[in-house]
Amino acid sequence: MVSRIVKKLLPIALFLLAATAFAHAGHQHHFLGTVKALQPAQLVITTTAGTDAAFTLTTATAITRDGAPVARTELTAGRRVAVEVANDGKTAVSVKVGK
């Protein structure tokens, strides 16, 4: 009796486990903080949680303020930013610069 129930529930449990494992596929993450350092291909921010986070900047990284493109030179130390990161967890897709 118990083995029949297990045989019926096991495939369902495995399916739900697999679905949960891939639930965040394609999800981009957002970080809020202030600019700590800017290198030619890297942005380091201090997050609102107080930890440092480094992100790779590429030619495809969009840097904007109020929806309009701005130069990387706007990423000065202490400037508030919101960074959207790709699935790899380290490449900045976009950086929104605060006022």
Q: Is residue 44 part of a domain?
A: yes
Q: How confident is the model at residue 99 (pLDDT cuts 50, 70, 90)?
A: confident
Q: How confident is the model at residue 68 (pLDDT cuts 50, 70, 90)?
A: very high
- Rounded Cα–Cα distance for residues 58 and 67 (Å): 19
- DSSP label at residue 28: -
pLDDT digits (tens, 9 = 90+) for 22-59: 444 555 599 999 999 999 999 999 999 999 999 999 99
> What DSSP letter does each residue of 44-84 carry, written as one string?
EEEETTS-EEEEE--TT-EEEETTEE--GGG--TT-EEEEE
- pLDDT above 70: residue 16: no
User: Between the CA of residue 38 and those of 42, 48, 55, 60, what are the distances in Å?
Assistant: 6, 18, 10, 17
Q: Is residue 39 part of a domain?
A: yes
User: Which residue type sits at 77?
Assistant: A
Q: Is residue 41 part of a domain?
A: yes
- pLDDT above 90: residue 75: yes
Q: Domain of 33?
A: 29-97
How many structural domains is the chain composed of? 1
Model pLDDT, residue 23:
46
